[in-house]
Amino acid sequence: MNRIPRTLLVGGVIVGVICILAALGPWIAPFEPDAFNMRARLQPPSTTYWFGTDEFGRDVFSRVLAGAHHSLLMGFGATIISLVIGVPLGLIAAFRRGWTEEAIMRGVDLMISIPPVLLGLLILAVTEPGLLKTMLAVGLVYVPIMTRVARAVGLDLLAEDFVEAARARGEGGFHILAREILPNAWPPLIVETSLRVTFAILLGSALSFLGLGPQPPDSEWGLMIAESRPFISEAPWIGLAPGLCLCLLLIAVNVVGEGLRDLLDPRLRGRGH
Amino acid sequence: MSLLNIQGLSLSYATQRGAVHALQDVSLRIPRGGAMGLVGESGSGKSSVVLALLGLLGEGAALTSDKLDFDGKDLRQAAERLRGRRIGVVFQDPAAALNPSLTIGFQVAEPLIQHRGLAREAALARAESLLGEMGITRAAEVARAYPHQLSGGMKQRAVIATALACEPELLLLDEPTTALDVTVEAQILDLLEKLRHERGVSMLLVSHNLGIVDRLCDELTVLYAGRVVEQGPCAETLSTPRHPYTRGLLAALPRVDRGRMARLAPIPGGLPDLKQPTPGCNFQPRCPFAVEACATPQPLLDGVRCHRAAEIAGQPWPIPELGESVVRPVPEALLQAEGLTRSFGGGGLFNKRAGIRAVDGVSLQIGRGEVLGLVGESGCGKSTLGRLVLRLLGADSGRIDFDGKNIPAEASSEFRRRAQIVFQNPDSSLNPRQTVDEALRRPLTRFGIASGAKATREVERLLELVRLPASYRSRYPHQMSGGEKQRIGIARALASRPDFLVCDEAVSALDVSVQAAVLNLLTDLRDRLGVAYLFISHDIGVVAHIADRIAVMYRGAIVEEGPAAAVLAPPYHPYTEALLSAVPVVGAQSRAESRIRLKGDVSTAPGEGGCRFAHRCPRRMGNICDTLTPPVREFGTAHRIACHIPAEELAAMPSAMAV
């Protein structure tokens, strides 16, 4: 067996702790996240208010906790959406070649040529903002990248002799893609996915910052940063707390991605057995 | 005094699972002007010797030696200063050795600028003359070219020119011709031979090919699992090998000069564990002559590391029993292909020019239980033809009949069941995420041959057929050796009980000892099951051993076809003659003067029309060869040669092989 890289362990533990905190948020939060307390407005961090309070006297720590699940859902949900749409598209493009491939890849090029935020704005502009829709928007933004990765991996694998052997048995396209290609394609796809989560979280927060995610008084890290802007000089902790949490999550997820790459990279596997 | 003197060289690599002892107490010496061959199968440590000499072992390698001297200087300290100046190196793959973004001329000149301090212009001029000395015509043009513009043989000449730029006294050659076609290999061997005699360069030639070593070297060292097992004069060692391993290697070798042999002698088993080398003879577990005393340490006495060498000299290497022949080939055609043509490269979305005809109007016929060997150099269209007859690649035109029925482009499931393929590369032919059981079960269920418990029994029967224990069912490809994987590939192809197999270089990636076992297996299967093969190989020795009939292919067409014995003897097509003459055969030094050498290689572009071999043909008659398609001349039973040379003249050719 492969040894589990340390990066994967460290990153995994941090991501795990954040996930647990996000899940337990409502129970462990010291205050109600949206309870106003006009007597404790803009308090700096203290033993009572760990991350301070905002302009309405709400406890920032409780709000950060309550907002964590948004960021996590955004990151993982959007990535899963891009995976579910992108991978089959990419594999089909690699398998069919010719016009099918041209159509899929040029369509994907078209999507890439639209700036991600603009695409998100476009989707959210025509409908009511909400977590699920932000997730879908971010997911769609990353479909082209997943498609390309899946196609590249698929093309490599389709050149292998075991695929030719399957063709010599007269196997259909579905069997070849699902049984011969996919089991071998997932390691590079997982690595790509884990790195993609970071960007999805970031883009989700950016869209929230622009007011296209969850709506106030809901707490979401991007939204909290946006709301903290008027107070950035007098009460920097309001924006700093969610910002630093976002940072920590992004770094941890990225580290997990790198760990997974070390674990699954085919160039590091299969040596000496 | 020796130019190179290695005494007691040991080398171990640190790995996660403990130290691997790659070399154990290796000693060899090369006198000034001498040439030493270093042979052994993959994993024997040949390349490690070269890297150790160059001081290029990298991290994690621990080297100890009593002596590692080059011209009296200790290589452990001096390697960095000597390599590239007084020690030149040529590696296996010329495409990988050259930098794709620098001109050939600059790459040859680089060591001169680096080590000799020559000015750029002077170095480039010298590089050009060096390329000329390597037998490259139009050296000035080649010097300005980039690697991708040159053929493999030209690239290897450029690499040799680079290695020789600083006039080294010792040339290390690590499988210098393995990546090349046999006719190009012959040119490179001629060049190396010439360099040796004209410049007095000493050589250390690392190769798995005994024929090459026999041609170039005067001394031979046989390496097995990191130890020298035999050492001595080259010709003598190869004609009367004394160590059982050397004897085994020679017995396992299919040889074109022997033609069809009943049986090859494979060496059973595999390399020993290099993590815990046994103090005794490390070949003992695979040796047919092993006795108890072999477990004690063996010294290298009189050039051989075997205490029984003298005792067993008279005993023959045991050759496995001949499988009983039930089915013999019958003339009735199983597969008949007519006018198969396939082009590549043309007709893309933005690319409307005509492509290259990889296969150009080829017709062939294979009888039941018959083996048709298909030989030719790389790029001649062999593999394409193999896929065309299986309808794995769509043909542009042509017709295929199998067992009397026409096979359309979308082949039926029945045809898929009856016609299967075995691939060259055992690593790529098995799905790394499927167990042996899954791989073998799929064709059974797919073609409705067996399912459930019956399929399990069938999988076990298939494993038995390829001589692997039933416990292999649960193995994944990475848990098996190359030879074992190749057997699974064969078992998978046989699972659907086909009548016809395309073997595309099926044994080319294997070491000789394993290759012999797989060839024996294929021979048995033909004899017992009556399977017909289209046996594609660039190795004429292998084809000569297994084929009933041989077809020789050149640039997309078959130039000669006939019964194996007839093709291997005169009359020849001039291309067949050159091919046979180029094969390096052990113990055939005498035929040096009669060698036929082809100029250029397959990619040397000819014009349209005429004989496709005319541009390289040493027997080219004149204009007629360039303009008229050659007639097909018949000799005896079904021996056909496509050539303008009159039949009587062809028939009068001498044999291209030493007798």
pLDDT in tens, A5-18: 788 888 889 889 98
In 10 A of CB B459, how many CB atoms?
23
Residue B325: the pLDDT is 54
Instruction: Provide residues of A within 8 Å CB-CB of chain B.
Output: 3, 102, 160-162, 164-165, 167-171, 180, 183-184, 270, 272-273
A102 and B392 in contact by Cβ < 8 A?
no
| Dist CA B480 CA B183 (whole Å) | 34
A165 and B492 in contact by Cβ < 8 A?
yes
B479 and A160 in contact by Cβ < 8 A?
no
Return the higher-pLDDT residue of A162 and A191: A162
A272 and B390 in contact by Cβ < 8 A?
no
B413 close to A (CB below 8 A): yes
Using CB atoms, pick whichever of B419, B425, B447 lies closest to residue A161: B425
Residue B623: the pLDDT is 85
Single-letter amino acid, residue B424: Q
Single-letter amino acid, residue A246: L
B429 and A162 in contact by Cβ < 8 A?
yes
* Neighboring chain B residues of A170 at a CB cutoff of 8 Å: 411, 413, 416, 446
ipTM of the complex: 0.79
| Dist CA A124 CA A118 (whole Å) | 10
* Neighboring chain B residues of A273 at a CB cutoff of 8 Å: 478-479
Radius of gyration of chain A (CA): 22
| Dist CA B553 CA B613 (whole Å) | 10
Q: Which two tokens stand for residue B85?
A: 């100046």
B411 and A162 in contact by Cβ < 8 A?
no
| Dist CA A242 CA A225 (whole Å) | 7
The runs of H, that is alpha helices, within B563-646 are 564-567, 574-582, 623-627
| Dist CA B328 CA A181 (whole Å) | 40
Q: Which two tokens stand for residue B320?
A: 């496995």
Cα torsion A212, A215, A220, A225 to 10°: value is: 70
Contact B555, B376 (CB under 8 A): no
Residue B121: the pLDDT is 92
Contact B20, B226 (CB under 8 A): no
pLDDT in tens, B332-371: 789 999 999 998 875 555 554 556 788 988 999 999 889 9
Residue A177: the pLDDT is 92
Kindly tell me the number of DSSP H helices and DSSP E strands found in chain B: 23, 23
Instruction: List the 230-289 stretch of B: residues with Cβ below 8 A of A.
Output: none
Question: B429 to chain A, minimum CA–CA distance in Å?
Answer: 4
- CA B243 to each of CA A60, B180, B249, B349, B587: distance values in angstroms, whole numbers, following the listed order: 82, 30, 10, 61, 18
Which stretches of chain B drop beneath a pLDDT of 70?
A: 259-262, 321-331, 346-355, 588-594, 600-608, 658-659
Average pLDDT over residues A234-240: 85
Residue B492: the pLDDT is 95
Query: Which has the closest alpha carbon to A150: A214, A62, A90?
Result: A90
- Assign B641 to helix, strand or coil: strand
| Dist CA B38 CA B35 (whole Å) | 10
Question: B95 to chain A, minimum CA–CA distance in Å?
Answer: 21
Residue B96: the pLDDT is 87
pLDDT in tens, A71-112: 888 888 999 999 999 999 999 999 988 899 999 999 999 888
B488 close to A (CB below 8 A): no
A165 and B432 in contact by Cβ < 8 A?
no
Q: How many percent of chain A have pLDDT more than 70?
A: 95
* Neighboring chain B residues of A270 at a CB cutoff of 8 Å: 432, 478
B411 and A272 in contact by Cβ < 8 A?
no
Q: Which two tokens stand for residue B221?
A: 């060292």
